[in-house]
Amino acid sequence: MRREEVERFMDKTAPMKEVSIVLCGEAGQGIQTVEEILNSVLKLSGHNVFSTSEFMSRIRGGNNSTEIRVSSQKVNAYVDRIDILVPFSQSAIQHLGERVTDKTIVLGDKENIGGGNGYMAVEVPFSREASDIGSPLYANTMAVGVILGLLSGDLEILQDYLQRFLGAKGSDVVQKNREAARRGYRIGNDLRRSGRVDIVLGASPEVKEEILLSGTEAVALGAVAGGCNFVSFYPMSPSTGVAVFLAQHAKNFDMIVEQAEGEIAAINMALGAWYAGARAMVTTSGGGFDLMTEGLSLAGITETPIVIHLGQRPGGATGLPTRTEQADLELALYAGHGESPRAIFSPGTIDEAFRLTRRAFELAGAYQIPVIILTDQYLLDSYYHVPSLDLSNVEKNGHLAKTKSPYRRYELTEDGVSPRGIPGFGDGLVVVAGNEHDEQGHLTEDAHIRREMVAKRLRKLRSTTEEAETPQLVGTEDYRDLVIGWGSTYHTIVEALQRVGRDDIAFLHFAQVYPLHRSVEDYLTRARSVIIIENNATGQFAKLIKLCTGIEIGHTILKFDGRPFSVEQVAEALRDHAEVK
């Protein structure tokens, strides 16, 4: 979005061509259901949508909110700005704090919208109308109708969706929800026609055909495309959704999904599955990954492939269990005792979450190493639509060797990769040992063999470095300033740079944070100044870049309060950086 477009948007006399809608209420009030319905119906109406949620760590009470951006153009990032707020609780406005401004329109029951001090308050009798239909629970569907009416959406699409979405609950529930939607739509349409809310959104036929996905679903589908047929886990937010999605569709995917008694059991189940010839993944979060580190070391010395999805959240201990952070990079990099290679992906988009999870299985199988997919709550719980995902040619190459007798499981090779056999596939005896071992897998304490085996395992790092993802340069190649980001900050940084509007600055996005591609040093040395943006307190990726290249990044933009960067925050920080120089 160019600067003049931003200024026009912020002018209340001009029609909105992009709108940020926030729904906020207590846990248990169905905010996520409203998000799901609105996202689907708006997309089916041809509107570009993006949504992301923030949760308090409680089952009831508190305040949760969902931001839904609707636009004539693609939008894929979180913004602080709230154009329309629908509060379902009396504390919602206070909870959202400074995000509610004099440009915010607050729609809701009288007791929830306050006095309109510093914002525009519009009373909409959700509770009264919903009770008249039969239950206060229908207020959520009314809110969907109001928003759709404000945006000139297609009421028939909403009615059809409610039939499919609620059909299993019986015709009475469906009909009452459809009535709530009609009443809400009429209210929203009247507000739009009165001129109190002026929104002009274009619709695109192409959007209707696109696939609406969350980061969670993208990781899960990437595992399917990677040939995954065994998943083990112990529930821990924000990673649990990956296992839940796969369990719901396990029969369709010909997959076993096992909830273990704990994280130690989960990773050992997955290692056992790979040993038997399956393609396995564990999904966990920081505290659970802590418990898996011994299993990670076991994978290293036994050269057993493993794919680990690590959904980051703020630590330590329980930390902020429903919030977001990028503070587990060093944990993923250094977890496990001893020295053995690994690869770490950090997808920043829905497409990358799918593609890199798929690639993780190929890389793990090819080099017999752990591959970690590093996501976070913000990416996993964000939704937007993509044109397609390539589920063709699901990976079938298990990189397995039919063994002959005698069989050397840990045969010394030039690239460090030995032929991997599994029990029962061939005539050889497959011996796998968690102690140091010789080529046959027999335990040894011989100093010479120890040196050879360590060197053999580390030789894989050379090959994985050669195959590392090239960082993506966004913007001019003749940059003076270079912004670096990794993982889920991608879309936020891209939109922030568009707002800043400079033609001498570029963004280097890392979808793989270890090992680093060999081109990194060249990108860094060409810049007059380098700025790194990270959702942690210590600049973990900046430290890793210095370790690998010797180059120290002088400017950091860090955030570690459990919330994602907003587009406005990044844009302001980059403008401040330019002024300081």
CATH number for 563: 3.40.50.920
pLDDT the model gives residue 57: 85
DSSP code at position 550: S
Q: Which residues neighbour 194 within 8 Å (Cβ) at sequence distance 6 or greater?
A: none
**Alpha helix (H) ranges present in 425-566?**
447-466, 490-500, 520-525, 540-549
Q: Show pLDDT as tens, one digit a residue, over the chain (581 residues).
A: 333 433 333 344 455 679 999 999 998 888 999 999 999 999 999 999 999 999 888 777 789 999 999 998 999 999 999 999 999 999 999 999 999 999 999 999 999 999 888 999 999 999 999 999 999 999 999 999 999 999 988 999 999 999 999 999 999 999 999 999 999 999 999 998 887 777 878 888 899 999 999 999 999 999 999 999 999 999 999 999 999 999 999 999 999 999 999 999 999 999 999 999 999 999 999 999 999 999 999 999 999 999 999 999 999 999 999 999 999 999 999 999 999 999 999 999 999 999 999 999 999 999 999 999 999 999 999 999 999 998 777 777 779 999 999 999 999 999 999 999 999 999 999 999 999 999 999 999 999 999 999 999 999 999 999 999 999 999 999 999 999 999 999 999 999 999 999 999 999 999 999 999 999 999 999 999 999 999 999 999 999 999 999 999 989 999 999 999 999 999 999 999 876 55
Quote the pTM value. 0.94
Omega before residue 406 within 30° of 0, cis: yes
Residues 14 and 102 in one domain: yes
Q: Does some domain include residue 275? A: yes
Taking the CA atoms of the chain, what radius of gyration do you get in angstroms? Answer: 26
Q: Are residues 141 and 95 in the same domain?
A: yes
Q: What is the DSSP string of 444-464?
A: ---HHHHHHHHHHHHHHHHHH
CATH code of 320's domain: 3.40.50.970
Q: CA nearest 363: which of 417, 295, 282?
A: 417
CATH (domain of 170): 3.40.920.10
DSSP of 132-175: HHT-GGGHHHHHHHHHHHHTT--HHHHHHHHHHHHGGG-HHHHH
Q: Is residue 66 part of a domain?
A: yes
Distances 549 to 511, 541, 557 between C-alpha atoms, Å: 18, 12, 20
Examine the domain organization and report whether 69 and 192 are in the same domain: yes
Residues in the chain, total: 581
For residue 190, CA distances in Å to 22, 83, 183, 521, 555 come to 20, 18, 11, 58, 50
Q: Would 353 be classed as within a structural domain?
A: yes
DSSP label of 305: -
Residue 394 lies in a domain: no
Q: Please tell me whether residues 218 and 314 are part of one structural domain.
A: yes
Cβ-contact 241, 55 below 8 angstroms: no
Q: How far apart are CA 142 and CA 397, in angstroms?
A: 51
Looking at residue 103, its pLDDT comes to 92
Compute the distance between CA of residue 322 and CA of residue 377 in angstroms, rounded to an integer.
7
Least Cα distance to 346 among 563, 549, 514, 519 occurs for: 514
Domain of 175? 3-207
Secondary structure (DSSP) of 167-210: GGG-HHHHHHHHHHHHHHHHHHHHHHHHTSS-B-----HHHHHS
Residue type, 262: G
pLDDT reported for residue 2: 36
Own/partner pairs for 536-539, CB < 8 Å, 24+ apart?
A: 536/325, 536/326, 536/327, 536/329, 536/560, 537/327, 538/327
Dihedral class, residue 449 (left if φ above 0, else alpha if ψ from -120 to 50, else beta): alpha
Whether residues 248 and 333 share a domain: the answer is: yes
Please check whether residue 441 lies inside any domain of the structure.
Answer: yes
- The span from the CA of 309 to the CA of 239, in Å, is 8
Same domain, 338 and 476: no
Helices marked H in 239-281: 240-248, 250-253, 263-275
Tokens of residue 96, six digits: 């959202």
217 and 199 in a common domain: no
Residue where one domain finishes, among candidates 207, 231, 261:
207
Cis preceding linkage at 235, omega within 30? no
Q: Which of 467, 495, 512 is the last residue of a domain?
A: 467
Co-location of 60 and 112 in the same domain: yes
Pair 452, 512 in one domain:
no
Residue 391 lies in a domain: no
Residues 197, 246 share a domain: no
**Residue 411 and residue 345 share a domain:** no
Q: What's 350-404 look like in SS3?
A: HHHHHHHHHHHHHHHHHHCCEEEEEEEHHHHCCEEEECCCCCCCCCCCCCCCCEC
Is 454 in the same domain as 419? yes
In this structure, is residue 262 part of a structural domain?
A: yes
Q: What is the pLDDT of residue 186?
A: 95
Distance CA 76, CA 353 (A): 14
End position of a domain, from candidates 363, 386, 409 = 386
Look at residue 392 in the predicted model and tell me its pLDDT: 78
Kindly give, in sequence order, each residue whose CB lies less than 8 Å from that of residue 272, ignoring residues fewer than 6 positions away.
none
Domain count, the chain: 4
Nearest to 140 by CA among 190, 185, 104, 177: 177
pLDDT of residue 117: 86
Residue 393 lies in a domain: no
